Amino acid sequence: MEKQTETGTFREENNEEWMHFALLSAGLGTWNMDPLNKEVKWDDRCRELYGFPEGQVIEYQDILRYIHPDDKARVDQAVTNALKSESGGNYSVRFRTIGAKDKKIRWLDCKGKAYFHPDGTAYRFAGTAQDITREIEDRDREELMIALVENSPDYMAAADNQGRFFYMNTAGKRLLGISDSFDITSLVNKDLFLPDDFTFMEEEVYPHLLVGRKWSGNIHIQHARTKERIPCYADFIVIREPGSDKIIGRGATLRDLRPALQAKQEQQKLLALLENSRDFVSLSDNNGIVSYVNPAGLQLVGLDTVEEAKRPNTEFLFPEAVDSIMKEIDSAIAEKGQWTGEVNYRNFKTGEAIPVFTTTMRVIDTASGASQGKATISRDLRQEKAIRQQQTENRAELERMVEMRTSELKKANIDLNIVNQNLEQFAYVASHDLQEPLRKINMFSALLQDKYQDQLNETGMRNLGIIRNAATRMTTLIQDLLAFSRVSRQDHLFEAVDLQKIIQQVLTDLDMLIQQKDAVIEMDALCSVYGIPLHMTQLFHNLLSNALKFTQPDKQVVVKIDSRILSNSEVAAHPQLQNGMPYCEIRVTDNGIGFAPTYAKKIFVIFQRLHGRGEYEGSGIGLALCQKIVTAHHGVIYAESEEGKGATFIVILPVFTS
């Protein structure tokens, strides 16, 4: 019996040893909590995981103090739930501790179970704690790597040795034009290439991977939907089984070269633009050393090659001007990023000073924001300055000619005043001295006709009549000439003229003639114009007299008078009129004998007649007087007619505006 007891004791102690060894091997610590007293008893491993000093019993609240603040509430809630009988007593939670002594953060995985009396009261709560810090860190690193791969702008993918894909990141799917939901495992590497491009992969790329070497270079893949052939720079590597050299797959990183190629094309266009520019263009680094000058710039400063131009940019200026100009340029670029102004470049071959208008600006790297140097564009001002000089000389010559012409005009004006004075004297003589003999001729011829008509034979009476008629015509001619000459003198002030009243007065003056002709006068409402009333009376008296004179004997005489305001486009059709001003068009239309259209201008020439004196009376001055009046009023007059179909005289005059 004693032997059996000893054996049992040995087995029990042996089992405890093996259990302790197993726990240590697994890195587990044990703990036991008294639910009533809230005291925790733990082994050395568990105490170590919490970072506590020696001592195996500790209050539960003390333990909570060293749980990470973000995890404390979650752990306390898990313990509270485990100590409820309805929960089954199970306890499992992962959390962080902050070592009480070493302040080290550790991740723990705690598992335990609570035991209950029949009344549901917990009498024991025990379990294990395991350090999972390395596991969590490895998982975080793995998630970080996955995030980096997933968020990479480059294509990243992996496939097995048979070319079957088992991973592709988001950028890779977008590059190929496949959706995020697409099952990537249904793809094989052949699906990514056009036949010729896949042949290249089989002959050039995959053989390197089969022997465990990496491969880098340019390849082409195809877009799944558009079939576009996409240029890429590729890096291929082999994937080996962990812990051995066995190759289990291959990985690839592809960078889409289209943006770079497009940027290169844009750079080539820009370079072509610079190369073909007629202006001087240069680039220099932050130290002012020139790295590029375009062909036009080289020619401007007398250099043959870009290599010759690779020198300090200050050497393009004259030494005496360098300090002041560079100080101004550096200050402006520091403040505003660019400088604009006029400087003199020197020609390295001839030493000539070349005036240029220059813009120098700072060149910034858009990616880093760092300064890359300066760019300069300069325009040769020699031709422009020569043109300006020529313009100055031309302006001076023009001013000299204008001054000379003004002097000539002044002299001509003096001569014209003398002529006008002579004309006024002539008008005075014509109105007094010339008319006096005519009045005597008329008076004595009338006296002879009345007193001696019984003593004169038929021939004498006829000759006497001829004398009287000639004298009458001469008087009329002199009066018309006087009226014609007075128009240009503008002795009257312009004012508002109601044409309705003016023409009514003219019709009253012509009333006897209208009755003799049995004429019908039709007149609409007429506008008011800006003019001289007396001249307006003379104008329409002549026009209406002509309408009543040149009639057809077998027709009822009808004369129509109407007016309207012209539109802007109608005003613009007459070069003599001023655009933007209102004008009134007055039409005087008759149904008389008319005239051929070829005479439409001739009839306004002084002394021009279309008919002999025996047919129609007149001096040949009436329409010339009309034209002179209208012209003096800044208007236009013209006629429209056909022979035998009447005539229309159109008068355009400025409208009176208050």
Task: Tell me the pLDDT tens digit for each residue of 18-34.
Answer: 555 555 555 788 999 99
User: What is the dotted CATH code of the domain comprising 490-654?
Assistant: 3.30.565.10
Architecture of domain 262-380: 2-Layer Sandwich (3.30)
Q: What is the pLDDT of residue 154?
A: 92
Number of C-alpha atoms within 13 angstroms, CB side, residue 290? 22
- For residue 521, pLDDT beyond 70: yes
Distances (CA, A) of 377 to 23, 296, 313, 358, 596: 80, 11, 13, 6, 71
**Beta pairing partners, 263:** none
Out of 276-290, 419-433, 462-476, give the one with best mean pLDDT.
Answer: 276-290
Q: Determine how many CB atoms are found less than 10 A away from the CB of residue 13.
A: 10
Q: What is the pLDDT of residue 411?
A: 81
For residues 98 and 651, give the distance between their C-alpha atoms in angstroms, rounded to a whole number: 111
Q: Which residue has the higher pLDDT, 424 or 554?
A: 554
Q: Which has the closest alpha carbon to 298: 313, 282, 312, 284?
A: 282
Q: Which residue has the higher pLDDT, 617 or 634?
A: 634
Q: What is the pLDDT of residue 534?
A: 85
**Torsion sign, CA atoms 309, 313, 317, 320:** negative
- In which band, very low, low, confident or very high, does the pLDDT at 598 lie, cut at 50, 70 and 90? confident
- In which band, very low, low, confident or very high, does the pLDDT at 445 lie, cut at 50, 70 and 90? confident
Task: Tell me the pLDDT tens digit for each residue of 577-594.
Answer: 888 889 999 999 999 888
> In CATH, which superfamily holds the domain spanning 152-256?
PAS domain (3.30.450.20)
Q: What is the pLDDT of residue 51?
A: 75
Task: Tell me the pLDDT tens digit for each residue of 100-129.
Answer: 777 888 999 999 999 999 999 999 999 999
Locus of tokens 């073909």: 276
Out of 216-225, 410-419, 571-580, give the one with best mean pLDDT.
Answer: 216-225
Indicate the burial class of 466 (C-beta count within 10 angstroms; 0-12, 13-18, 19 or more): exposed
Q: What is the pLDDT of residue 84?
A: 92
Q: What is the pLDDT of residue 366?
A: 75
Q: What is the pLDDT of residue 609?
A: 60
Task: Round to the nearest angstrom and report the end-to-end CA distance of the chain.
Answer: 148
- For residue 232, pLDDT beyond 90: yes
For residues 152 and 170, give the distance between their C-alpha atoms in angstroms, rounded to a whole number: 8
For residues 297 and 358, give the distance between their C-alpha atoms in angstroms, rounded to a whole number: 12
| Fold of the 2-132 domain | Beta-Lactamase (3.30.450)
Label residue 560 left, alpha or beta by phi (over 0 means left) and psi (-120 to 50 means alpha): beta
DSSP 313-372: GGGGB-HHHHHHHHHHHHHHHHHHSEEEEEEEEE-TTT--EEEEEEEEEEEE-TTT--EE
Q: What is the pLDDT of residue 9?
A: 46
In the predicted model, what is the mean pLDDT of the chain?
84
User: Is the fold of 2-132 the same as that of 490-654?
Assistant: no
What is the mean pLDDT of the segment spanning 271-286?
88
Contact residues for 76 (Cβ-Cβ < 8 A; gap 6+): 64
Task: Tell me the pLDDT tens digit for each residue of 540-550.
Answer: 988 998 888 88
Helix (H, G, I), strand (E, B) or coil at 585: strand
- In which band, very low, low, confident or very high, does the pLDDT at 419 lie, cut at 50, 70 and 90? low
Candidate from 412-416, 466-470, 531-535 with smallest mean pLDDT: 466-470
Domain ranges of the chain: 2-132, 152-256, 262-380, 400-489, 490-654
Give the pair of three-digit tokens for residue 33.
Answer: 């909590």
Q: What is the pLDDT of residue 12?
A: 46
Q: Are 301 and 347 in contact (CB under 8 A)?
A: yes
Candidate from 301-305, 360-364, 424-428, 451-455 with smallest mean pLDDT: 424-428
